[in-house]
Amino acid sequence: MTAPVAAPVLDVRGLRVSFRGFEGVAEVLQGVDLTVGKGERVGLVGESGCGKSVTMRAIMGILRAPPARVDGGEIRYLGRDVLTLGRRERDLLKGRDLSMVFQDPGTSLNPVFRIGEQLDDVMGWADRRGGERTSRRTRRGRILEVLKQVKLPDPALVYDAYPMQLSGGMRQRVLIAMALLNRPTLLIADEPGTALDVTTQDEILRLLDALVQHDGLSMLLISHNLGVVRAMTDRLYVMYAGAVVEEGATADVFADPRHPYTQALLRCVPKLDGSAVYAGIDGTLPDYTRPPGGCRFHPRCGYAHARCSEARPPAFEVGAGPVAHRSACWLEEPR
Amino acid sequence: MSAPALVAHAEERAARRTAWRRLWYRLRRNPSALAGSAIVLVVVALALLAPWVATHPQDAGNVVNFRARHLPPSAEHWFGTDQVGRDVFSRVVFGYRISLLLVVGVLGLSVPFGVVLGLLAGYLGGWVETLIMRVTDVFLAIPALVMALAITAALTPNLTNAMIALAVLWWTWHTRLVYGIVRSLRGEEYVEAARLLGARTAHVIFRELLPNCVSAISVKVTLDAGFVILIGAGLSFLGLGAQPPAPDLGTMVSTGSRYLPDMWWQSVFPGLAILFAILGFNLLGDGLRDLFDVEVA
Amino acid sequence: MSAEPLLRVDGLTKHFPVRGGPLRRVVGHVRALDGVSFDVAPGETFGLAGESGSGKSTLARIVVGLETASGGRVRVGDVDDVRGGDRRAFGRVVQMVFQNPGSSLNPRRSIQATLELPLAIHGTFQGPIRARAAELLEMVELPRSFLGKHSHELSGGQKQRVAIARALAVQPQLLVLDEPTSALDVSVQAKVIELLQKLRDELSLTYLFISHDLSLMHAFCDRVGVLYLGQLAELGRADAVFRAPRHPYTRGLIASVPVVGEEEVALKAGLERITGEIPSAANVPSGCRFHTRCPAAEERCRHEDPEFTGDPSEQAVRCHVHSIV
């Protein structure tokens, strides 16, 4: 198990993001804390609308502003605050150290350019930003090497192929290759394989995992699928309505989920042994422009008491293991 | 009405009010739609209220006032006077009536026709689709202005015939537009659900599909309005539209151009009026396109 | 299963012609379905699993009559095939709930208009239609104030509830559920599935449930069939198939399901994974069509198409190697 190390690769502190629209100001992220240690595989899990994508986009610096606005907090990448960096420096970071595996193999590649050209562009841009001048031939060598790494059967053929000539699984491999091309330190994987069939997804996830472990990369995996997160990560964060409600070692959280939301969510997941109890969670995600006071989960929570609607619970330490296990719930308040 | 029904009714009204407020919110953030609608409103208001807005309403007709001919713009004649002493401003205001009449006539005749054909071709498919779309292709291959010139020249040149000439060609664009939308909506699950429930073809076409084409059609119609004004002005500039002494903007530009550059106001102001109206419709059309988030060729 | 089946699918085949060349001649066929047979008893929930390209959606569309089969028969109750028959009579027996909450409701029509359409068409309901529409909403646990709303004001789960209410408006016996919850979050999915279970019990409905989510299927279905490239590979009682899968494809599918609990991991233990992707249905492999990806394939699998062995009401499998004797 990987313990969080002294100098994390990614350190997000108190990140607050809001959106402005017709309904008013929507406070979407209300102080997200999140770290990814060196060589650590971290999951960010939650249902649609919980803020995991906004968090990811803020980290990648691709929030559309307006309507989005970062109201506070910091995003430290290898010790430097990304939010205060200049555009040039941030682009440099994005092209090289910070890299992303996109979700949809159907639309993330441009259909009119060959795979090789698209990978070459990605690599060429990063090289140029880094002040390097590389030839197309040297880049081709690296590209073929990475295509082989992602276990594409015939790299040279794939290099010259158009996206439409590849299957969904192969395109997803190309997207992974694209993310690995510039030897990143941190890989952000946004729902990888979600659009694929379960057998293909399984293969892709195993490949991604092997590559990450082999190169000692750090990975932030964003997913709505608890099973995927369980298989792929060392540590995880559970988000609800713009806040992290629970964090801890993946094994600990699955063995002993502490936050009422995590517990309810796990109960909703259909089980392969057919034992699922269809409890569901009553109610819906709150309206971000008029969120409930205190803990944002309290209107849907079976354990809610007066306190929950008055004040927002901080993250209380709930575990005894080597990795911090915290739950943002008043039930865990030490007395 | 029962109490729950009253509540539901009140909720519906509140929802509608919110919808209008949301539209206004988005409109405010869309300067081109806002400017466009302001211009279009002004043009329409001028046309409707022409007899009251015009400073010399009698000049819209066949009036000759030789003592006042070729007067430059002044407090009495804002846009000056023309070669027979008529007030140019008043004629411009009445000219908008003719332009808008042409727009309403051309689009009123062609759009419903084109839309229905597009709906039929897109939904029914098969030989109906082939027939309608091939005919459309043939019509699309004919340059509009040339065809309109030919038709109006063959018939008597007047406003009605110009209208007919343009309408004969105009429907094709709407057929194309609606056909494309329907083709993509045909497989939508609500369309299939309606079929499964046993809905008649007419229901599917007019109640399920047509409402979903309305925003694209209205954007297209708005953009078309400017275009019709332009082509209409072109026709009358060539003497094939509304005939003198009717206060037609194109005719005014044409006649006024004889006295350029000394008596520039006689052609420049009607020209600017045409420009103003077209600009308004185009801005509004572009703005609506963004507002409705539709694609219109 | 002694009762007369409500749905009988018999040797169902669907071939789409592939056209090519300048003259658009038929150069081949996509064999979307290739001789699929199964029965569903009244009150039963039958699950049809398979990856994209397996033909499961095509099957659903043929059962409801949105597409016509190239061969074989579909019989629902005593209505035989929709072809040439009365569309409306057929619609009263079988309805469908679609996959995508985003497109299942017309964005330009109110919920009331949506629900009143089937009532007006079939005219089976006596009394005020609006009251009945409100009743349908209550059945799917939505407040009657939703009548005036439009689809964009509804969440994904609420849209699917309305779609269920619309399908139930004509009081069908068989409901085809084409991945009704695959676009929903798990917490919402759980509520919708709970509702479907309640409706099944209250209205004694029969479900044909199409899904790629095996875990969901195990809990929700009485019997399941696993489709691969237009053919059933395995068929049987859900519990039997999931606890002791026989066909290497079923085993591979189950092995690749992401799970959240230790009990589930145990179920996956000892199952062989499969690799590669489903071949194109335009170019179906010879012999057993799964042999190209099968970890247990033998020589005869390349040439001989296996027959079903076993009892479809318990467990039946179409495999040379793992046949039931």
ipTM for the whole complex? 0.86
The span from the CA of A68 to the CA of C53, in Å, is 40
- The stretch C199-214 carries a mean pLDDT of 94
- The reported pLDDT for the residue numbered A2 is 47
- The stretch C164-189 carries a mean pLDDT of 92
Cα A120 to Cα A142, C94, C289, distances in angstroms: 9, 53, 39
> CB distance from C51 to chain A under 8 Å?
yes
- Assess whether A122 and A191 both reside in one domain: no
- Assess whether A280 and A178 both reside in one domain: no
Report chain A residues whose CB lies below 8 A from the CB of C257: 198, 227, 272
- Best of C153, C154, C181, C187 to disrupt the A interface by mutation (most A CBs within 10 Å)? C187
Where does the pLDDT of residue B245 fall: very low under 50, low under 70, confident under 90, or very high at 90 and above?
confident
- Assess whether A213 and A92 both reside in one domain: yes
CATH superfamily membership of C7-233: P-loop containing nucleotide triphosphate hydrolases (3.40.50.300)
pLDDT of B105 over the 50 cut: yes
- Assess whether A192 and A308 both reside in one domain: yes
- Assess whether A176 and A60 both reside in one domain: no
- The reported pLDDT for the residue numbered C81 is 63
Cβ-Cβ contacts under 8 Å between B and C: the total is 71
- The reported pLDDT for the residue numbered B180 is 94
Q: Look up the domain containing A114 and give its range.
A: 98-183
- In one letter, which amino acid is C131? A
- The reported pLDDT for the residue numbered B92 is 93
Residue of C nearest to A200 (CA): C277
**Stated length of chain C:** 325
Name the β-bridge partners of C87: none
C149 in Cβ contact with B13 (< 8 Å)? no
Residue B4 domain-assigned (yes or no):
no
Which candidate from A198, A267, A272 shows the least CB-CB separation from C264?
A272
* Cα of B12 to nearest chain C Cα, Å: 6
Instruction: Give the single-character DSSP code of B97.
Output: H
Considering only residues 172 to 211 of chain B, which have any Cβ-Cβ distance to chain C shorter than 8 Å? 188-190, 192-199, 203, 207-208, 211
- Best of A278, A281, A287, A297 to disrupt the C interface by mutation (most C CBs within 10 Å)? A278
Cβ contact, residue pair C261, A254, below 8 Å: yes
Residue C186 DSSP SS3:
helix
Residues 6+ apart with CB under 8 A from C159: C101, C102, C104, C105, C151
The span from the CA of A277 to the CA of A282, in Å, is 14
- The reported pLDDT for the residue numbered A4 is 47
Angle at B153 between CA B151 and CA B157, to 5 degrees: 100
- Assess whether A212 and A285 both reside in one domain: yes
Query: Chunked in runs of 10, what are the mean pLDDT values of chain A (335 residues)?
Result: 64 92 86 92 92 89 83 87 80 78 79 89 82 83 90 88 87 89 89 84 90 90 93 94 94 93 92 78 86 90 90 89 91 85
* Cα of A138 to nearest chain C Cα, Å: 31
- Count CB neighbours of A235 within 10 A: 25
Where does the pLDDT of residue B4 fall: very low under 50, low under 70, confident under 90, or very high at 90 and above?
low
- Count CB neighbours of A20 within 10 A: 14
Name the β-bridge partners of C136: none
Question: What residues does each domain of chain C span?
Answer: 7-233
Residue of A nearest to B25 (CA): A22
* Cα of C184 to nearest chain A Cα, Å: 9
Q: C237 or C264: which carries more pLDDT confidence?
A: C237
Chains touching C (3+ CB pairs < 8 Å): A, B
> Per the structure, how many domains does chain B have?
1
* Cα of C186 to nearest chain A Cα, Å: 6
> CB distance from B11 to chain C under 8 Å?
yes
- The reported pLDDT for the residue numbered C278 is 84
Cβ contact, residue pair C147, B197, below 8 Å: no
Residue of C nearest to A256 (CA): C261
A205 in Cβ contact with A199 (< 8 Å)? no
Cβ contact, residue pair B190, C103, below 8 Å: yes
Residue A335 domain-assigned (yes or no):
no
- The reported pLDDT for the residue numbered C1 is 45
The span from the CA of A1 to the CA of A323, in Å, is 9
Name the β-bridge partners of C97: C177
- The reported pLDDT for the residue numbered C125 is 62
- Assess whether A30 and A174 both reside in one domain: no
Q: Give tens-digit pLDDT for A269-296.
A: 998 888 766 677 888 888 888 888 899 9
Report chain B residues whose CB lies below 8 A from the CB of C163: 193
A271 in Cβ contact with C264 (< 8 Å)? yes
* Cα of A74 to nearest chain C Cα, Å: 30
Output the domain CATH number for residue A174.
3.40.50.300
Q: Look up the domain containing B124 and give its range.
A: 31-292
* Cα of C50 to nearest chain A Cα, Å: 9
Which candidate from C87, C100, C114 shows the least CB-CB separation from B198?
C87
Q: What DSSP assignment string belongs to B212-229?
A: HHHHHHHHHHHHHHHHHH
Cβ-Cβ contacts under 8 Å between A and B: the total is 4
Q: Which two tokens stand for residue A83?
A: 């939010």
Cβ contact, residue pair C148, B192, below 8 Å: no
> CB distance from A202 to chain C under 8 Å?
yes
- H/E stretch holding B100: helix B88-124
- Assess whether A105 and A176 both reside in one domain: yes
List the one residue out of C22, C19, C30 whose CA is nearest residue C70: C30
- The reported pLDDT for the residue numbered B239 is 85
Residue A330 DSSP SS3:
helix
- Assess whether A76 and A110 both reside in one domain: no
Report chain A residues whose CB lies below 8 A from the CB of B21: 22
- Assess whether A167 and A270 both reside in one domain: no
Backbone angles phi, psi at A25, to 5 degrees: -90, 125
Report chain A residues whose CB lies below 8 A from the CB of C188: 47, 280
Q: What's the whole-number average pLDDT of chain C?
A: 89
Cβ contact, residue pair C148, B11, below 8 Å: yes
Residue A330 domain-assigned (yes or no):
no
Q: Give tens-digit pLDDT for B31-51.
A: 888 999 999 999 999 999 988
Cβ contact, residue pair B199, C103, below 8 Å: no
> Per the structure, how many domains does chain A have?
2
Chains touching A (3+ CB pairs < 8 Å): B, C
Residue B234 domain-assigned (yes or no):
yes
Share of chain C above pLDDT 70, in %: 96
- Assess whether A65 and A191 both reside in one domain: yes
The span from the CA of C200 to the CA of A226, in Å, is 29
End-to-end CA, chain C: 21
Cα C117 to Cα A97, B204, C143, distances in angstroms: 57, 11, 19
Output the domain CATH number for residue B72.
1.10.3720.10
Instruction: Give the single-character DSSP code of C141.
Output: T
- Cis check: omega of the bond before B247, within 30 degrees of 0: no
Residue A332 domain-assigned (yes or no):
no
Q: Which two tokens stand for residue A245?
A: 């409600």
Question: Which ranges constitute the DSSP H helices of chain C?
Answer: 56-64, 87-93, 111-122, 129-139, 156-168, 186-203, 214-220, 238-243, 248-255, 262-268
Report chain B residues whose CB lies below 8 A from the CB of A22: 21-22, 25-26
Q: Which two tokens stand for residue A155?
A: 């790299």
Cα C276 to Cα A200, C117, C215, C248, distances in angstroms: 7, 46, 22, 14
Chains touching B (3+ CB pairs < 8 Å): A, C
> CB distance from B154 to chain C under 8 Å?
no
Task: Spell out which chain B residues touch chain A, with contact meaning CB-CB distance below 8 angstroms.
Answer: 21-22, 25-26
Considering only residues 65 to 124 of chain C, which have any Cβ-Cβ distance to chain A shorter than 8 Å? none
Which candidate from B188, B196, B208 shows the least CB-CB separation from C91?
B196
- In one letter, which amino acid is C184? L
Q: B58 or C123: which carries more pLDDT confidence?
A: B58
Is the pTM higher than 0.95? The answer reads no
Residue C39 DSSP SS3:
strand
The span from the CA of A215 to the CA of A39, in Å, is 9
- In one letter, which amino acid is A326? R
> CB distance from C109 to chain B under 8 Å?
yes
Task: Decide which of A155, A183, A211 is a domain's last residue.
Answer: A183
Cα C113 to Cα A275, B208, C116, distances in angstroms: 39, 10, 5
- Assess whether A237 and A305 both reside in one domain: yes
The span from the CA of C161 to the CA of C178, in Å, is 14
Residue A132 domain-assigned (yes or no):
yes
* Cα of C47 to nearest chain B Cα, Å: 21
Where does the pLDDT of residue C82 fall: very low under 50, low under 70, confident under 90, or very high at 90 and above?
low
- Count CB neighbours of B152 within 10 A: 25
- In one letter, which amino acid is C152? H
Q: Give tens-digit pLDDT for C177-192.
A: 999 998 899 999 999 9
Q: C90 or B94: which carries more pLDDT confidence?
A: B94
Q: What's the whole-number average pLDDT of chain B?
A: 88
B77 in Cβ contact with B89 (< 8 Å)? yes
